[in-house]
Structure 1
């Protein structure tokens, strides 16, 4: 029997934070902060910290490259394919300012399909051009190529640096956090992208992923303790307020590990039984994928007529319905193919992870 944990709840909670943060931004408001971090960014940090921890565990249980990437692809791509195709060919022509014929004749409509290969595109012709956040069809997609690149770290380190994996993941977390600080503080006048990824945000989130992987490998040496987690929150809150030039590099590394430790401790805690949302299905990914375009549709009609909380409440209801449908009609069936993906290489079963 799989031991119960709180990760399903935390992922759904993280997706909800993203919905709230985007609801503010899409209504032209400043999003609230959580521990000096914009609330939607904090939600993504939760996702990446948990992902690093669970994916490192997945590789340790079954260190087979083909099986590893087959499982990751089956979790990531089927739901993405559906949301991209529905957005481009159903939502787009309905809400576009262009006539349907002009919309489908515009080559930019088909450029949007680059999202299927994780080269993220936000624009569809005539779509959301008068919204407070113009032309952004699905801003949540930015994190997916970062997530997939983070996955690549795990087998590379697992195969090449297995004996030094804790040191390797720790060094990688420090390097990525430092690169993010450098780009934000010292190269703010430049935009740095790789394969359509914003490297400022991407390196920061990958640092949390690497920190989560470190915590997986040291979890027996450094126990996950709720008292220690409370201390870590206090230390994190203090460090995150500091802005003292070059000292930001070690501070960023420390905060990545501290916050990942807190998140994973809550996830693994048996003394803090959070609601078992996973018994109904894992709706977090679907909520994350669908909420942004739903909120943009609502913003188009509600902006200037009501506050952001009306939009957030309606968006959560509609997006959750789509997330439930995505789980039951797409994601659950894709995950059921995992034993087929394993068939070429003998392996042992493992729990489902994001």
Structure 2
């Protein structure tokens, strides 16, 4: 085995499943406040005087881990068809099911003079959201009386940005064997995005991209950082040195909280902190997914509609909503992983494009 092969094998033993699970729970914790109409914000928000929330840490952490793992997936992919097929299998089956369940269960929380099946936005809800770049957050008549009106699944907003990052990193496929050039390209991309995010934050908030907006910069910098750290082989750093790096980074990050340099500290230190925690051997959490499955994506996409439904029926406040919504979202996520996501991922070795091409050739011969 080559050194690179050994490295990839070693990287599979990590804490990323646990971190993503934790980040998904963070999102639910933050969402209970706006979804119940609370004037407060979560505990981290109060501690940092609004600089950070649990969901901000979570979403940025998600993109760091995604940048790291997706870059590695690109390195292992035989071609771009292989790369995109794996991305489609990971993203779309679970998304399609949660959208379908939303439409099926919609009548139970629907209040509108227009009959449910005659409501045009009921029919457009699934196709619009599967397109990613034309998200439809609500259907008139569903959750209109909730404190956070009309939004059925506000968590979907990050998925178009995630998929856009897949497209961006896939461009490196053509030079992936030229490691030095790849590192330079990723470094330049990271520095440009970091500069825009830190020093032009107010300006980029006014930008409007073709199908996205300024979040492409804010989230892109963390994805680029994760990919860059994968390219420079952060996982090859011995654990004792990685522990020192983590301690120093975490200390500087905490020190920067509440200070003008905090935005700079975030884009430089948070990726290192997240990946260091993900890569260091930590007893008890490394194999969490082996026991229950990878529930993070399921919790993320089911959490918001579950919380909206609980508020609709029971009028919960933020203090009483956290634990029931976490438990119910985890139950849906468990079923999603074992019945939808894992079976879909078992199809990753299929080659859909060659199969389609062969069928087209047979048709043309007829």
User: Same fold by TM-score, threshold 0.5 exceeded?
Assistant: yes
Asked if 1:92 is matched to 2:100, the reply is: no
Partner of 2:363: none
Aligned CA-pair RMSD: 2.6
Q: What secondary structure, in the 3-state scheme, does the structure 2 residue paired with 1:192 have?
A: coil
Equivalent residue in structure 1 for 2:344, among 334, 343, 349: 334
1:301-345 C-alpha deviation (Å, 9 max, x unpaired): 333xx5313211111111111111111111011100001138959
Normalized against structure 2, the TM-score is what?
A: 0.83
Distance change (3 Å), C-alpha of 1:276 and 1:333: same
Partner of 1:290: 302
Count of residue pairs the alignment pairs up? 332
Contact 1:298 1:315 in 2 (8 A): yes
Distance change (3 Å), C-alpha of 1:299 and 1:182: farther
Partner of 1:349: none
Q: What is the rounded CA distance, in whole Å, between the counterparts of 1:144 and 1:58 in structure 2?
A: 18
Asked if 1:50 is matched to 2:60, the reply is: no
Partner of 1:169: 186
1:248-302 C-alpha deviation (Å, 9 max, x unpaired): 7xx7465223111111111111255525221121111111010100001112233
Q: What is the rounded CA distance, in whole Å, between the counterparts of 2:123 and 2:36 in structure 1?
A: 28
Q: What is the rounded CA distance, in whole Å, between the counterparts of 1:97 and 1:174 in structure 2?
A: 49
Contact 2:204 2:214 in 1 (8 A): no
Could you tell me which runs of 5 or more consecutive residues in structure 2 were left unpaired when the two chains were aligned.
1-8, 356-366
Q: What is the rounded CA distance, in whole Å, between the counterparts of 2:275 and 2:354 in structure 1?
A: 33
Deviation at 1:63, TM superposition (A): 4.8
For residues 226-245 of structure 1, the aligned pairs below 5 Å read 226-243=243-260
Contact 1:180 1:201 in 2 (8 A): no
Could you tell me which runs of 5 or more consecutive residues in structure 1 were left unpaired when the two chains were aligned.
346-354
Partner of 1:145: 160
Deviation at 1:110, TM superposition (A): 2.5
Which has more radius of gyration? Answer: 2
1:122-173 C-alpha deviation (Å, 9 max, x unpaired): 1111111121111111010001010011111222123257442122112222
Partner of 1:255: 266
For residues 21-36 of structure 1, the aligned pairs below 5 Å read 21-29=30-38, 30-33=41-44, 36=51
More displaced stretch, 217-226 vs 317-326: 217-226
Distance change (3 Å), C-alpha of 1:220 and 1:42: closer
4+ runs deviating over 6 angstroms:
none
For residues 133-282 of structure 1, the aligned pairs below 5 Å read 133-160=148-175, 162=178, 163-181=180-198, 184-186=201-203, 190=206, 192=208, 194-195=210-211, 197=212, 199-219=213-233, 223=237, 225-243=242-260, 252=263, 255-271=266-282, 273-274=284-285, 276-279=287-290, 280-282=292-294
Q: What is the rounded CA distance, in whole Å, between the counterparts of 1:182 and 1:220 in structure 2?
A: 27
Partner of 1:350: none
